[in-house]
Amino acid sequence: MSMGCFPIYTRILLTLLLCFFSTFFSSQAAPYALRISCGASKDVRTWPTNTLWRKDFAYTGGVIADATSHSRSRITPPLSTLRVFPLSEGPQNCYIINQVPAGHYAVRIFFDLVADPNFDSEPLFDVSIDGTLVDSLNAGWSTHDDERVFTEALVFLSDDSASLCFHSTGHGDPAIISIEILQVDDKAYNFGPLSGQGSILKTVKRVSCGERRPMFDEDYGGGGLGGDRFWNSLTTFGQSSETAIFGKGTIQRTSLAPNFYPQALYQTALVSTDAQPELTYTMDVEPNSDYSVWLHFAEIDPSITKAGQRVFDILINGDVAFKDVDVISMSGGLKTALVLNTTVAVDGRSLTVSLLPVTGSHAIINAIEVFKIIAAESKTFYTEVNALQSLKNALQLPRRLGWNGDPCVPLQHPWTGAACQFDNAKKRWFIDGLIYGLPKFSSCAAHPTSGIRADYD
């Protein structure tokens, strides 16, 4: 072998090593992502992103049905099956997904309608994640192309499992088309001191200003720890006088931790005009709740070239949230992303973001995100839940009794007959009478004070 061969072998070897290491390290760093096509009997891939959806598993009951052909919502994943939870199987049914590593996740559940002409009613039901009620569907959800066709929440999952439960409210049978559990950065959407394990952020609204069609992070070329957010398109704030701008060049400071916003989000914006110098965006919200508001800016308007030329105040429901916002000076330059977040308490049923010019007569905005802040419920001691499940199996109780998920939470939907009490020290629920475990239950009837009462209806 001549000496000249060495470099070639070395290069091949190096390439192989590099391939090996990059695969090794990228798989180490890859965020957890699980997508389920509910009702599907085999794995499915969807166009155009080639997204993998696992075949259906982890459900506690229900039946398979065909989904409508998505004539109503264009943003629902193009999957063809559903899992329907008939009321006859009990008022609460769940997906209990195990082996989800403890962490911070974007959990998203799309609903859909059953493809049956006689099955026209739109089901209305409650949705809980790990025992916290995160959504109650409102009439009309199925005829929209927005956040109403899914529930999405940022949650911290512990205990290696995620329980997603659907609580019938007597208006039709819950029908679920897909579930996504996508890991996000531990500090994603950190909104201040109350942020963390004790809070859940439920997505209320996410709009990309000046964008012409709805986009997911993946459509924007984003990915990784972003959670594949859905961005609805917003071409006007309602006054129809704004100008949509597009700036194709590179935007600085995008795709950064902890939120990893895609660059393309900042390449469109809405700018006010002389006819309507103030930009005002109003959305419906649930009253008496706290909201986390995230506002996105990048100066992509060629008519603005340096700091001081465009300054505006930002008001939320009439109160100044940010004064004298100068995007160029705050972000550090032209075409540079600026993200502002604030928390507001809302008493009424609407949340209004207003941008009022201070210097220069026009305001600019690239995107808006609004989350409802929900206090995460404490769960019931695992041993208690386990004991109840064993009891249910031992007694061969019918499915209708639907003992799935957590017996004590959400507080709005406890299991019938479970007398729950809170252990303040351990921050966990327990069931009165069950504290010593199952044996006490083998003689249920002899214990009138036991936690399980006889009224199972």
* Residues near ligand NAG, by CB under 6 A: 190-192, 258, 341
Of 88, 72, 286, nearest to 174 by C-alpha is: 88
CB nearer ligand NAG, residue 280 or residue 341: 341
Task: Round to whole Å and give the CA distance between 66 and 81.
Answer: 5
Shortest Å distance, C-beta 431 to ligand NAG: 39
In the numeric block, which tokens belong to residue 313?
A: 């105040």
In the numeric block, which tokens belong to residue 121?
A: 């009613």
CB nearer ligand NAG, residue 161 or residue 190: 190
In sequence order, the β-bridge partners of residue 192 are none
In the numeric block, which tokens belong to residue 40?
A: 């599907």
CA dihedral sign of residues 334, 336, 341, 346? positive
Task: Round to whole Å and give the CA distance between 151 and 61.
Answer: 20
CA-atom Rg of the chain in angstroms: 25
Shortest Å distance, C-beta 294 to ligand NAG: 8
CB nearer ligand NAG, residue 276 or residue 341: 341
- For the residues of 408-452, what is the DSSP string, one character each? S-STTSPPTTB-EEEETTTTEEEETTTTT-SGGGGGGGG-TTSSB
Shortest Å distance, C-beta 341 to ligand NAG: 4
Task: Round to whole Å and give the CA distance between 333 and 307.
Answer: 8
In the numeric block, which tokens belong to residue 282?
A: 């109003």
CB nearer ligand NAG, residue 58 or residue 251: 251
Task: Round to whole Å and give the CA distance between 18 and 369.
Answer: 40
CB nearer ligand NAG, residue 260 or residue 415: 260
List Cβ neighbours of 66 (8 Å cut-off, separation of 6 or more).
Answer: 80, 81, 82, 114, 115, 116
Residues 434, 440: contact at Cβ < 8 Å?
yes
Shortest Å distance, C-beta 329 to ligand NAG: 17
First-last CA distance in the chain: 85
Shortest Å distance, C-beta 345 to ligand NAG: 15
Task: Round to whole Å and give the CA distance between 44 and 257.
Answer: 31
Shortest Å distance, C-beta 213 to ligand NAG: 28
Task: Round to whole Å and give the CA distance between 315 and 310.
Answer: 16
Task: Round to whole Å and give the CA distance between 200 and 196.
Answer: 8
CB nearer ligand NAG, residue 237 or residue 261: 261
CB nearer ligand NAG, residue 164 or residue 188: 188
Neighbouring C-beta atoms of residue 198, cutoff 10 Å: 12
On the 0-12 / 13-18 / 19+ scale of CB atoms within 10 A, 156 is middle
Shortest Å distance, C-beta 86 to ligand NAG: 43
Shortest Å distance, C-beta 295 to ligand NAG: 11
Of 372, 364, 321, 322, nearest to 346 by C-alpha is: 372
Shortest Å distance, C-beta 380 to ligand NAG: 32
Shortest Å distance, C-beta 192 to ligand NAG: 4
CB nearer ligand NAG, residue 149 or residue 321: 321
Please count the residues of the chain: 457
CB nearer ligand NAG, residue 258 or residue 437: 258
| Phi, psi angles (nearest 5°) of residue 401 | -75, -10
Residue nearest to ligand NAG (CB): 341
- For the residues of 247-274, what is the DSSP string, one character each? --S--BS-S-TTT---GGGGGEEEE--S
CB nearer ligand NAG, residue 186 or residue 432: 186
CB nearer ligand NAG, residue 169 or residue 190: 190
Shortest Å distance, C-beta 190 to ligand NAG: 5
